[in-house]
Amino acid sequence: AERYTSHLSSGQMTRVCLAKALINDPEVLLLDEPTASLDPDMADRVRKTLVGLRRDRNTAILVTSHNMREIEALCDRVLFLQAGRIVMEGPPREIAARFGDADLETLFLRVAREGRG
């Protein structure tokens, strides 16, 4: 059945946008909260697809997200921005350990609450 995108749910629209982004086998993907509106199963499938693209096709992927668990799963380098400036950077596990936090989520919450890096 033919449906206009204006009649799709936010999760369906996210999947359409991801499909459009991937159709030409890009060298670089820029993704803003790529799984935010997806159900857990679909979000997991999208994460696995992105990891596969990075591994198998050497696709560079830049992700903006507030979901640090997802960032840990997808990214090999993390930048924390505050007021448009980089305040921390490094591999996800190393950056958390460097600042004495158990994981990236704990560090992210602390930085957000303190309002500084």
| pTM of the predicted protein model | 0.77
**Cα–Cα distance, 94 to 117 (Å, whole number):** 15
Token output for 21: 């982004």
Report how many domains make up the chain: 2
Same-domain pairing of 50 and 106: no
| Residue 100 one-letter amino acid | G
Query: How does 31-45 read in b/e, with b if 16+ C-beta sit within 10 Å?
Result: beebbeebeeebbee
Same-domain pairing of 42 and 1: yes
Same-domain pairing of 84 and 111: yes
Beta bridge partners of 85: 82
31: in domain? yes
**pLDDT number for residue 59:** 93
47: in domain? yes
Same-domain pairing of 9 and 31: yes
Question: For 42-81, how does the pLDDT look when each residue is reduced to its tens digit (9 = 90+)?
Answer: 999 999 999 999 999 999 999 999 999 899 989 999 998 8
Note down the domain range covering 84: 76-117
Question: For 93-111, how does the pLDDT look when each residue is reduced to its tens digit (9 = 90+)?
Answer: 899 999 888 899 999 898 8
94: in domain? yes
- For the residues of the chain, what is the DSSP string, one character each? ----GGGS-HHHHHHHHHHHHHTT--SEEEEESTTTTS-HHHHHHHHHHHHHHHHHH--EEEEE-S-HHHHHHH-S-EEEEETTEEEEEE-HHHHHHHTT-SSHHHHHHHHHHHT--
